[in-house]
């Protein structure tokens, strides 16, 4: 179907001078050319319809990016605040532990000082007591005696090493003796046994002592005193 424009052109061509055939032919050609162009344009518009520009409410990219940046900054600030709080808590805990350790060390040092002072006081008291006992101790010198030694455990005796065997007519059982060696060594022994030697030699004492401690000389002499 020809357009209104082509119809007008064709009408103009029909009313042209009949003798002027070339004008009529040119008008016809123009009409046909215009109709072809119109049909081609219509076909192109059907095949490639124009895309409409649409807008979606609330999808502003710039505003959305700004919101994301703000959220990221807020999250980073919160993380930094939490880290600072954790570091402060750790520092406070470390300080408290250090204070506790220093306090424990001070208490241990004080306890050690107290123990040392108590030990020193005890030693001083014992020394003073020994000195007092020595000063008030009364002894009776019985002269010089010969000393021999024996190990009660070897003989199957359970009397131990705090005793001495003596002539019971000279030193009855239970007598406490102070035995002073020539080098100044002092032993205190209690008479708790006698021996066959005592009948023939009343001036000899048989001192109980472990074999490992018996003097290599075997027989010694010492001054013997009765304590008490």
- The yes-or-no verdict on residue 19 having pLDDT over 50 is no
Span 121-151, pLDDT tens digits: 777 666 655 555 555 679 999 999 999 998 9
Helix, strand, coil percentages (3-state) for the chain, rounded to 5, are: 55, 20, 30
Q: Which of 6-10, 174-178, 198-202 is modeled with the greatest confidence? A: 174-178
- Would you place residue 18 in the very low, low, confident or very high pLDDT band (cuts 50, 70, 90)? very low
The CA distance from 225 to 187, in Å, is 11
CB 181 within 8 A of CB 144: no
- DSSP class of 211: G
- The yes-or-no verdict on residue 10 having pLDDT over 60 is no
Residue-level pLDDT at 27: 55
Residue-level pLDDT at 14: 54
Q: How many CB atoms within 10 Å of residue 214?
A: 14
Span 183-227, pLDDT tens digits: 999 999 999 888 776 667 889 999 999 999 998 887 899 999 999
- The yes-or-no verdict on residue 1 having pLDDT over 60 is no
Quote the Cα angle for 27-30-31, to 5°: 90
Q: How many CB atoms within 10 Å of residue 9?
A: 19
The CA distance from 179 to 141, in Å, is 10
Average confidence (pLDDT) over 26-47? 61
Q: What does pLDDT average to over the chain?
A: 78
Residue-level pLDDT at 186: 95
Considering only residues 68 and 141, tell me which one the structure prediction assigns the higher pLDDT.
141
Considering only residues 61 and 73, tell me which one the structure prediction assigns the higher pLDDT.
73
């Amino acid at each position: 179907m020809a357009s209104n424009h082509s119809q007008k052109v064709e009408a103009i061509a029909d009313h042209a001078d009949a003798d002027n055939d070339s004008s009529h032919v040119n008008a016809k050609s123009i009409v046909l050319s215009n109709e072809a162009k119109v049909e081609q344009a219509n076909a192109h518009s059907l095949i490639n319809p124009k895309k409409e520009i649409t807008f979606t409410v609330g999808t502003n990219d710039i505003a959305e990016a700004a919101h994301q940046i703000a959220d990221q900054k807020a999250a980073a600030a919160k993380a930094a605040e939490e880290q600072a709080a954790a570091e402060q808590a750790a520092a406070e805990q470390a300080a408290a532990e250090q204070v506790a350790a220093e306090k424990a060390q001070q208490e241990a040092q004080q306890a050690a000082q107290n123990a040392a002072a108590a030990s020193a006081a005890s030693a001083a008291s014992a020394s003073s007591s020994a000195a007092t006992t020595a000063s008030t101790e009364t002894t009776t010198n019985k002269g010089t005696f010969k000393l021999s030694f024996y190990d009660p455990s070897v003989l199957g005796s359970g009397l131990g090493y705090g005793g001495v065997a003596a002539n019971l007519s000279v030193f009855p059982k239970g007598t406490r003796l102070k035995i002073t060696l020539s080098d100044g060594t002092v032993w205190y022994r209690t008479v708790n046994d006698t021996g066959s030697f005592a009948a023939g030699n009343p001036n000899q004492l048989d001192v109980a002592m472990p074999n490992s401690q018996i003097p290599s000389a075997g027989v010694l002499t010492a001054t013997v005193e009765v304590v008490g």
